[in-house]
Structure 1
């Protein structure tokens, strides 16, 4: 999650569509597009090769390219998604992956559903999956089998009910690893077993407060260890990260992030870290 980000895929936002049905606060279309362009430019300036997929008209959530799939060392695994308006996205993202040279190596089937926001890598061989209203046990089982071929250990943790099934609570809503020994966390929502795993691994927790949790202060993208990108408007977590030796970069996400509840990790599908 914090190894140098060499290649990443982003998808330009659809500036038209039923934002209310997708649970967005209606954004300004011009600002939505320009903020996404500026975000991609920031990633390029930090050394990443950025693959830009075309917008999908009417699918406003598709800008959050993290959720429809998981990229592993062998290629991409496409999900099935619970949110009705997002169900076309995995196959469309799979096509974008293949255009970028990333093969599709598997798909969730049957009753299995998942969102990419429920996945974090604690190291190259340990994947934590949050079981949530968006990611279920059949998905955990199928991914455990698929990833066993790569020697990956899958650990699942149960997410809290919080706002219920209509509210998007992902694992990455409350944790972002930013170095091998450092993670941004909103402790009130973190499962005990996950907090214990962080402690056992010697990972220091940088806590986000209640106010900045609501403005995505916990959603932090590492482009390399201790070099991070976060939504502007979260000065306390930014200062805390800098106190832990991080180089911080911010972008204006008022439309592209805050109004759709998707921060910089949500906007990115990492293709290659080393």
Structure 2
């Protein structure tokens, strides 16, 4: 089996790319819009514990140290999208992150993952606005980080894949990120975690049409990244600690949930467990 191929978000996670926090990252937290300065030593401890949970779940964890000085670089989900044939380098809407796609190439090459395409300006798209509903359906969120013409680009880059787009809410404007994955995390072929109050109506229709059951995230846990959950496999999830009601609701739906501490690596930079990982291979 090739060491790549990730056109789903709920298959068993076998290989994953992460980028560890680096000492240089803490100096640029204001420029990248973090809520507070990260304590890099604590962030590194949190990240190591996070990676240990991935390994315990059966994943090979590939650690990169690309682009020192960019605290957002720990969120490896955003600069690339991996499908059945390899990786596509994206084009972040956040200008400070536009070097990240090329910066990940050496780590992808070491992992044996070919780069099979690139998104070029003026098109912008971030990984957080991409959701593999299944291996033939790719959902795209259109908002301040991902432009409408990304849809045509993805139809060219992923031939044979149904690409479905949704307009995202304005929420708090361009300065505060709102990704499609701020609203939905697939947990199985027929189960997804969703914050329905902001979810596009057409997305809710699509889930119902596909027979996908929805676990609702409560209002009080939306802004603490309750909807941002990483599937380790079908009905197995890794979640940020503290969203207790969301966890209970997932467990009632038959999901095995483990949590991690992310005060530095998640809460200060607004990036949950999906953001911290770029799945390379799912089975």
Normalised-by-shorter TM-score class? over 0.9
1:19 equivalent to 2:32? Answer: no
- Residue 66 of structure 2 contacts residue 104 of structure 2 at CA under 8 Å; is this kept in 1? no
Question: 1:132: Cα distance to partner?
Answer: 1.1
Q: For structure 2, which runs of at least 5 residues remain unmatched after alignment?
A: 1-8
Structure 1 position 80, deviation (Å): 1.4
2:6 paired residue number = none
Indicate conservation of the 8 Å contact 2:125/2:147, yes or no: yes
Q: CA RMSD in A?
A: 1.0
- 1:14 and 1:63 in contact (8 A); partners too: no
1:106 maps to: 117
Q: CA deviation at 1:95?
A: 2.2
**Paired positions, count:** 272
Select the residue among 242, 245, 255 that pairs with 2:264.
255
2:264 is paired with a residue whose SS is coil
Deviation at 1:216, TM superposition (A): 0.9
1:77 aligns with 2:88: yes
CA contact (8 A) 1:14 1:56 kept: no
Partner of 2:17 in structure 1?
9
Match of 1:161 in 2: 170
- Partner deviation per Cα, 1:123-155 (whole Å, 9 max, x = no partner): 11000000111011222211111111xx21111
Partner of 1:37: 48
Normalised by the size of structure 1, how large is the TM-score? 0.97
2: CA distance between counterparts of 1:27 and 1:208? 27
> Which residue number in structure 1 is paired with residue 133 of structure 2?
122
In structure 2, the partner of 1:232 is 241
1:45 deviates by 0.4
- In structure 2, how many angstroms separate the alpha carbons of the residues matched to 1:248 and 1:261? 21
Contact 1:13 1:55 in 2 (8 A): no
**Matches of 1:21 and 1:110, distance apart in 2:** 22
Paired position in structure 1 for 2:220: 211
Q: Structure 1 residue 201 and structure 2 residue 210: aligned? A: yes
